[in-house]
Amino acid sequence: MEECYICYDSTINRSPCICRAPLCIECYIEYLGYSDKCRICNTEFIDEDLINETYFEDFTFLLFLLCNIFFTIFFGSLFISITNGNIFKFEISLQIIFCGALLDAIFMWIFMWISSYIFEECFEFFKDYLRFTITRLFCNC
């Protein structure tokens, strides 16, 4: 096993370029946000499967965001309907979005707190990927 040339962690993965230098997947995904060329041999990355995996992860992340928005509105509508004693009506208002976001934050905090004990390694990867994706989307890096 060799060391990744960016983070120096042990890896069995190789850079998808001509030099095939040791490069871990996490560093490869993060580095794609900066450049599509190898830092060592200065050739473009040629492995389309690894590049396409990042597009799939971006699509999955956007699907997660859309589902989260839908459930925020749904649970906000349900909470407001229950507290007002009305029949459930799926609608959008500032009050519903606020209540739904509050409920979503509470449930996500509880879920992440529990899952961090169960899936600590997956949780760290998700946090790093979320930070990387948000940085890439909003900073145009």
pTM assigned to the model: 0.42
Residue 108 and residue 84 share a domain: yes
Same domain flag for 89 and 102: yes
Q: Are residues 12 and 33 in the same domain?
A: yes
CATH number at residue 35: 3.30.40
Asked if 73 and 119 sit in the same domain, the reply is yes
For residues 9 and 64, state if they share a domain.
no
Neighbours of 40 (CB within 10 A): 14
62 and 84 co-located in one domain? yes
Do 19 and 68 lie in one domain? The reply is: no
Q: In this predicted structure, what is the pLDDT of residue 136?
A: 67
Residue numbers of the domain that contains 6: 1-46
Q: 21 and 65: one domain?
A: no
Pairing type for strands 2-3 and 10-11 reads antiparallel
Are 67 and 41 members of one domain? Answer: no
Residue 29 backbone dihedrals phi, psi, to 5 degrees? -65, -45
Are 26 and 125 spatial neighbours (Cβ–Cβ below 8 Å)? yes
pLDDT in the model for residue 106: 81
Q: Are residues 68 and 111 in the same domain?
A: yes
Residues 60, 1 share a domain: no
Q: What is the pLDDT along the chain (141 residues), one digit of tens a residue?
A: 789 888 998 888 888 888 888 888 888 888 887 888 888 888 888 765 554 455 666 777 788 888 888 888 888 888 888 888 888 888 888 888 888 888 877 887 777 777 666 666 666 677 777 777 777 666 654
Q: Which residues are registered as beta bridge partners of 44?
A: 37
Do residue 23 and residue 66 come from a single domain? no
**Range 13-24 burial, b when 16+ CB lie within 10 A, else e:** eebbbeeebbbb
Q: What is the DSSP letter of 87?
A: P
Q: Is residue 14 classed as helix, strand or coil in its secondary structure?
A: strand
Question: What span, in angstroms and rounded, lies between the C-alpha atoms of 120 and 77?
Answer: 33
Separation between Cα atoms, residue 92 and residue 89, nearest integer Å: 10
